[in-house]
């Protein structure tokens, strides 16, 4: 359940699919393209490395107020979590766009723009030819 919410937040393109079954099929295709285990391990690794990087960056010598010291791990977790999700999103979106193109839902492979109804053979958003 929580992963469906995360995927819908990460991939606004899922709203273009009319049925819930189509959305589930797309999510499974994206997961299979990366590998479920690899994506979770990669996300955990990114999260862990990001946590320690942010934790190191906001140490007391850099002027962190005393009242923020106890919540420093929480700040580091939130920041590194968003960075990890963003990097995962950048990796998975082209797979989603490719699947949409295969399903006769024309989508720009560079920026993800919805190309339905376009008469020009160029994306109006980024100018890429399709």
Q: Is residue 120 pLDDT above 70, yes or no? A: yes
3-state SS record for the chain: CHHHHHHHHHCHHHHHCCCHHHHHHHHHHHHHHHCHHHHHHHHHHHHHHHHHHHHHHCCHHHCCCHHHHHHHHHHHHHHHHHHHHHHHHHHHHHHHHHHHHHCCCCECCCCCCECCCCCCCECCCCCCEC
Q: Give a yes or no: residue 111 inside a domain.
A: no
Q: Give a yes or no: residue 31 inside a domain.
A: yes
Q: Is residue 94 pLDDT above 80, yes or no? A: yes
What pLDDT is attached to residue 113? 85
Q: Give a yes or no: residue 115 inside a domain.
A: no
Mean pLDDT across 3-14? 72
Q: Give a yes or no: residue 59 inside a domain.
A: yes
What pLDDT is attached to residue 75? 73
Q: Give a yes or no: residue 108 inside a domain.
A: no
Mean pLDDT across 31-60? 69
Q: Give a yes or no: residue 120 inside a domain.
A: no
Domain that holds residue 64: 2-102
Q: Is residue 18 pLDDT above 70, yes or no? A: yes
Higher pLDDT, 17 or 8: 17
Mean pLDDT across 60-76? 67
Query: Number of folded domains in the chain?
Result: 1
Using a pLDDT cut of 70, give the percent of the chain over it.
Answer: 74
**Look-up: residue for tokens 């989508």?**
107
């Amino acid at each position: 359940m929580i992963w469906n919410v995360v995927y819908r937040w990460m991939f606004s393109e899922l709203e273009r699919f009319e049925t819930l079954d189509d959305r589930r099929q797309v999510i499974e295709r994206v997961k299979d393209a990366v590998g479920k285990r690899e994506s979770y391990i990669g996300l955990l690794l990114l999260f862990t490395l990001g946590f320690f990087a942010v934790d190191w960056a906001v140490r007391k010598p850099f002027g962190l107020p005393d009242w923020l010291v106890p919540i420093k791990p929480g700040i580091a977790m939130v920041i590194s979590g968003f960075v990890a999700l963003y990097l995962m999103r950048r990796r998975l979106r082209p797979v989603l766009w490719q699947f949409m193109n295969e399903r006769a839902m024309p989508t720009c492979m560079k920026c993800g723009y919805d190309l339905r109804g376009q008469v020009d053979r160029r994306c109006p958003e980024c100018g890429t030819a399709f």
